[in-house]
Amino acid sequence: MEFFATSGSPEKARSSCAIAGVFQDGRLSSVAKRLDKASGGVIGRTVRRGDIAGKPGDVLLLTNLDGLKTQRVLLVGCGPQKSFGARQYRKALEAALGAIARTSIRDAVSYLSCESVSGTDSYYLARYGVEAAHEALYRFLELKTEGDDRPPALGKLGFAVNAREALADAERGVAHGAAIVIGMELTRRLGNLPPNICTPAYLADRARQLAREEKKIATRIVDEAAMKKLGMGGLLAVTSASDQPAKLIVIEYRGGANGTAPVALVGKGVTFDTGGISIKPAAAMDEMKFDMCGAASVFGTLLALARLELPLNVVGIVPTCENMPGGTATRPGDIVRTMSGRTVEILNTDAEGRMILCDALTYARRFNPETVIDIATLTGACVIALGTHITGLMSNDETLAGELLEAGGNADDRAWRLPLGEEYAEQLKSNFADLANVAGREGGAITAACFLAKFTDGLRWAHLDVAGTAYRSGKQKGATGRPVPLLMEFLIQRANGAR
């Protein structure tokens, strides 16, 4: 897909389709009014006739309007004008592009970006627009051989601005959005691939491919023999019954000055999670292929960074394995020594994510990171607490937590902060080891983060629990690409000198 920013008169612009808004109760947007005037009032008469009411998601395609250079005008409902904000803008554009995807239209220009959208500017309208296009048009079809599914014909999409002075900001938004979308596409593809294809070895090969294709990326793979020498008892305990060897994947993006402390992104990479001996119910177990979406988001973020060539140093660390039952599986009650030297009593083998992450967090220290962020589909408890719209955030640093919350708000990839407290950490005490890998049922997302916090002494650290936001269930089952937009906004702001 090619994206671009443009300015000029919508009445005179040549395109296959112009996208314009209609607000609730039939009020035309500013561009729709101009198109209506140039076409002799056809649009206004159509709206007054009740063919489109302007409710969110309404669409109406008009063709061959006299007085216009565009071949078609797609009207899209934007809801009440007074509440037309960033989320409503994105939803309107997604609805419009969803309608276009069902046609043979090959190019279009969106004029929704010319409207007054509260809390945004030309940069964000263009960037949000690119991301909305990705959401509306993304298809995972590579393993289908039958049926009518096919990629949309649309291959070129523009975002208009009212004045040439805003064009540079819009072009920057398009460039950033396009890179973020490339990262999201990789994240979603890795998440959507089945677990018989996307194994730890597959992820390692994909990391090597990144290094071959991107000049500022270098990759290193730590195998099980090296893990044993490093004392990674947590990761090795989880992988013990799998025929697929575990990997610790290190992906370094070197865009900053030599010697500058990196940001470390640590992504949980359990390519299939049965729960181990503490086995999961059969219902929806297929979705446990998504238990590596944290790892996938690290891959996607590093790719987006490389495409934008941001002046930062970032290291991605991905512990990846399967969690399987079997004669060599870790048992409830086993005690293992982690890379940090701490011992952990494994009371529940289905609390495996924290076991691989604790070793990866310890490994991250060798890079002397300025900031460490881990991303994991860690707990069902976070889904119960926050649902499927907002990511859980926990941090030992107030400033970092604020930066991530702000980044999520700016990127429309929201997070919500949950507490860390000694009262919760007390529940992780063990009679036989330094700590247990689970506490009680209450506050499960928090106690899981408290477990990880035990391995972050002296680190500026945040934890993103994406169990509810990294993938969808049901009819729209599939990886979402989150939290790549949040992470990229955070890193873009750092590159811009916000910190």
Contact 264, 369 (CB under 8 A): yes
Beta strands 371-376 and 461-465, pairing class: parallel
Residue type, 309: E
Q: Which DSSP category does 184 fall into?
A: H
- Told to judge if 280 belongs to the known catalytic residues of this protein, a careful annotator would answer yes
Contact 338, 250 (CB under 8 A): no
Contacts of 281 (CB under 8 A, 6+ apart): none
What element of type H or E holds 133? helix 122-137
Angle, vertex CA 276, rays to CA 274 and CA 281, nearest 5: 45
Task: Tell me the CA distances in angstroms from 428 to 83, 333, 338, 350, one per residue in order.
Answer: 46, 14, 16, 16
Contact 276, 349 (CB under 8 A): yes
Contact 6, 91 (CB under 8 A): no
First to last CA, the chain: 33
Burial code of 370-384, b = ≥16 C-beta within 10 A, e = fewer?
Answer: bbbbbbbbbbebbbe
Rg of the Cα atoms in the chain: 24
- Told to judge if 354 belongs to the known catalytic residues of this protein, a careful annotator would answer yes
Contacts of 212 (CB under 8 A, 6+ apart): none
- Tokens 């177990």 locate to 285
**What does the block give as tokens for 247?**
């990997």
Catalytic residue among 280, 307, 342, 365: 280
Helix, strand and coil in the chain, % to nearest 5: 40, 20, 40
Beta strands 2-7 and 156-161, pairing class: parallel
Which residues are registered as beta bridge partners of 110?
19, 159
Contact 10, 31 (CB under 8 A): yes
DSSP 18-75: EEEEEEGGGEEPHHHHHHHHHTTSHHHHHHHTTS----TT-EEEEE--TT-SSSEEEE
Catalytic residue among 34, 91, 247, 354: 354
Return the active site residues.
280, 354
